[in-house]
Structure 1
Amino acid sequence: MIVHNLLLKLQDRSSESSAKAKDLLLTLNGNVEVIRKLKVGVDIRRAESSYDVALIAKFDTKADYQSYLVHPFHVKVGNQLKSNIAAAASVCFEE
């Protein structure tokens, strides 16, 4: 199983903006068939050093993860979020 962790720091760090980003990311579930499990959460710490939104997605294989990266629905969601992203970090690992 491949685990993809994504952290987003938003330019608009309001609670409303974070909730909107979360809702948008959750639309990946069911629209990108290679996702086996998806969790999205909003930071409750709200510190300057915190990221605002976290996504954890699981895939059966590395090939499934790679197909997710170029999947048209994933690209569409990324493009919708792009203008509000100040910084992003990710870690992918096999479990």
Structure 2
Amino acid sequence: MVRHIVLYFLKDKSPESKEALKQKFLSMKGKIDVLKDIEVGVDFMQSPRSADVSLTCLFESKKDLEIYAEHPVHLPVKQYVQQVAERSISCDYEI
């Protein structure tokens, strides 16, 4: 299994912006076969070192993560993220 975690730092820090991104991510649930699980969190600490939104996905293999990255359902979400996120950091690992 492979876990894919991304932390997003948004341009607009408003609750509405964070919720909109959360809903974009959750819109993929059940639409991409290789995406076994998805969890989205919105940070409540709002400390200087906090990310705004986290995305955690589960895949059966590295290959499935690659398929997800180019999946037609994921691509518009990725484009949206590129518009609203200032930056992101990720970690992908096997479990």
TM range (shorter): over 0.9
1:55-86 CA-to-partner distances (Å, cap 9, x unmatched) read 10000111111100111111111112211110
Consecutive unaligned residues in structure 1, runs of 5 or more: none
- Any stretches of 5+ residues in structure 2 without a counterpart? none
Give 1:77's aligned residue.
77
| Normalised TM-score (structure 2) | 0.96
Deviation at 1:28, TM superposition (A): 1.4
**Which amino acid is 2:60 matched to?**
D
- AA in 2 matched with 1:4: H
CA RMSD of aligned residues (A): 0.8
Q: Could you tell me the percent identity over the aligned residues? A: 32
TM-score normalised over the length of structure 1: 0.96
- Give the alignment of 1:76-95 within 5 angstroms: 76-95=76-95
Q: Equivalents in 1 of 2:32, 2:9: separation in Å?
A: 23
**Residues 11-26 of structure 1 mapped to structure 2, 5 A cutoff:** 11-26=11-26
Counterpart Cα distance in 1 of 2:94 and 2:81: 27
Runs of 4+ in 1 over 3 A off after TM superposition: none
Matching residue of 2:10 = 10
Q: State yes or no: 1:67 paired with 2:59.
A: no
**Deviation for aligned residue 1:92:** 0.3
CA–CA separation in structure 1 for the residues paired with 2:77 and 2:51:
19
CA distance in 2, matches of 1:45, 1:9: 14
